[in-house]
Amino acid sequence: MSSKNPIRQMPRYVADTKDYELGAVDAVRVSDRTSNLWLDAWRDVRGRWMFWASAAVILLVIVVALFPTLFTSVPPNDDCFLSNSNGAPEPGHPLGFTKQGCDVFSRIVHGTSTSLSVGLIVSVIVTVIGIVVGAFAGFFGGWLDSLLMRLGDMFFAIPYILAAVVIMSIFLDDRNIWIISLAIGFFAWPATARILRSEVLRVKQSEYVTASTALGLSRARTMFVHVLPNSIAPVIVVTTVGLAAAITAEATLSFLGVGLPNNLYMSWGNDISAAQGDLRTHPMTLIYPSIALSLTVLAFIMLGETVRDALDPKARASR
């Protein structure tokens, strides 16, 4: 007999081979919808009634501001007669007359363009200054960040309504839409700058920003191409809400008598101020422009809140 033991043939267990169609599993589904922050936000807001309600009111306000003669043919100031003072509504004058005998509806319609113009100009001023200051402060940091933020703190410490009152008091003879817009916007930008700065500080730590730097892109190009576009979403929300605040600020200044001249510009604030003395006897002359102001401001605030929730992934996930 041989001293070596024969090799025992052990049974082998092999799994059955099946066709799992790995190609089909790994295949890219071209038909799937693409997705990004803005597409997800649009899919979210288009299913919310608040978005469509606020958008409808804002669209109506824009149409009224651009084409006032489509809604009334009565001149707001040239067709005023004291015989109609605080008169009741009548055909062609659905909201009655002011104390000076002017048509209330016509003044509200023509005052829409003034309020909307001031709101838009202020929003542009605030957004431009806020983006420039916030982007440079957050991205470059260091001494530039400290300098810009201390400058922002100085403006932030001054209430922009109070600053606008002082500026408009200086320009008593030259008050117009541009002066009042600059007076409001020049002191209202620090909040936008702070919000953008915080977002830039978050975004600049992302991997794609590091990769952009590694590929040799300049810091300025990295900021404008990669960081700023991905940090702008909160600014859009703040701008929408800030537009409503600007409209309110213009009405407040006009109500205080340091806004736009009543004989040159139709303004809801001027109409509210002129009607406050008749609040007990003829309250509707004050209530009508107040309703127009409130609905416009409310529409922009609702739109801003809706956009904010849509651009916030955590808010979408919680619903």
Per-residue pLDDT reduced to its tens digit, 41-55: 777 788 888 889 999
The ranges assigned to domains in the chain are 111-263+301-318
pTM of the model: 0.81
What is the pLDDT averaged over residues 83-110? 85
For 179-199, give one letter per residue: b (16+ CB within 10 A) or e: bbbbbbbbbbbbbbbbbbbeb
The C-alpha atoms of residue 207 and residue 160 are separated, in whole angstroms, by: 39
Given 1.10.3720.10, 1.20.1280.290, 3.40.50.10790, 1.10.620.20, which CATH number is that of 111-263+301-318? 1.10.3720.10
What is the pLDDT averaged over residues 198-226? 84
Which CA distances in Å does 283 have to 20, 87, 92, 254, 291? 79, 12, 21, 19, 12
Other CB atoms within 10 A of residue 278 CB: 16
Short-list 118, 145, 285, 267, CA closest to 201: 145
Specify the pLDDT at position 58: 94
Which CA distances in Å does 266 have to 98, 100, 292? 13, 14, 13
Alpha helices in the chain (DSSP H): 22-26, 37-45, 49-66, 104-140, 142-156, 160-170, 177-185, 190-203, 207-214, 219-222, 233-256, 268-275, 284-311, 313-318
Per-residue pLDDT reduced to its tens digit, 217-267: 788 888 888 888 888 888 988 998 899 999 999 999 988 888 888 878 888
Please count the CA atoms within 13 angstroms of the CA of 117 that sit on its side-chain side. 18
The C-alpha atoms of residue 252 and residue 161 are separated, in whole angstroms, by: 8
36: pLDDT strictly greater than 50: yes
Specify the pLDDT at position 314: 56
| Sign of the CA dihedral running 185, 186, 191, 192 | positive
Give 29's pLDDT tier (boundaries 50, 70, 90).
low
